[in-house]
């Protein structure tokens, strides 16, 4: 039963990670086990000062089964991930920031405003460029650097022929805000 649940959760979190649009996690309070794994599946993680992260499954004689062993190691490094997973130790927001698990820590009352500002920044950019940047980083990270650079070059070639690139360049030269169409 638990194995089936972990398999379903892993599939759902894989979908979150692979979603073509950027995802932003707002972490307020405890993000343990599956909650931490869901946050790690998102592209950007912003935490309130009272956030705590952990993979305490070993206390139940299981391990993080929804992608936690893989995503945590890729985000904070193998050694830190092993220590957290094998001991079940929690990480506070400031340590999560230092380790690279989150990109920003804000006071609890400012969390949703900070997330909103990040979302606005994403929405102001060329949607095709954001989508292909996400794809290039994710696909390139899973392979060797030479292949990653090829993926980057191909994504850039697509963008250089886009209407959004022409609009972005025109808006820059005309000193106005661009009106991207995602094409």
Give me the active site residues, please.
Answer: 37, 57
Smallest CA-to-CA distance from 167 within 140, 131, 127 is with 127
* Distance separating alpha carbons of residues 72 and 91, to the nearest angstrom: 12
* Distance separating alpha carbons of residues 69 and 176, to the nearest angstrom: 46
Helix (H) or strand (E) holding 119: helix 111-123
Task: Look up residue 51 and give its DSSP letter.
Answer: -
Contact 10, 41 (CB under 8 A): no
Tokens of 106: 């804000």
Smallest CA-to-CA distance from 44 within 109, 124, 113, 122 is with 122
């Amino acid at each position: 039963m638990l194995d089936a649940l972990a398999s379903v959760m892993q599939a759902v979190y894989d979908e979150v990670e692979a979603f073509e649009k950027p995802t932003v996690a707002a972490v307020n309070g405890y993000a343990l086990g599956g909650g931490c794994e869901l946050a790690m599946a998102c592209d950007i993680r912003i935490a309130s000062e009272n956030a705590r992260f952990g993979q305490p499954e070993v206390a139940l004689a299981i391990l993080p089964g929804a992608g936690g062993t893989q995503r945590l190691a890729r985000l904070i490094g193998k050694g830190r991930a092993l220590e957290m997973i094998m001991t079940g130790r929690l990480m506070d927001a400031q340590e999560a920031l230092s380790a690279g698990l989150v990109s920003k820590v804000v006071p609890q009352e400012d969390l949703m405003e900070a997330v909103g500002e990040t979302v606005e920044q994403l929405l102001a950019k060329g949607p095709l460029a954001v989508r292909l940047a996400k794809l290039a980083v994710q696909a390139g990270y899973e392979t060797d650097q030479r292949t990653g650079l090829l993926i980057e070059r191909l994504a850039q070639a697509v963008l250089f022929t886009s209407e959004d690139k022409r609009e972005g360049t025109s808006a820059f030269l005309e000193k106005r805000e661009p009106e991207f169409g995602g094409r």
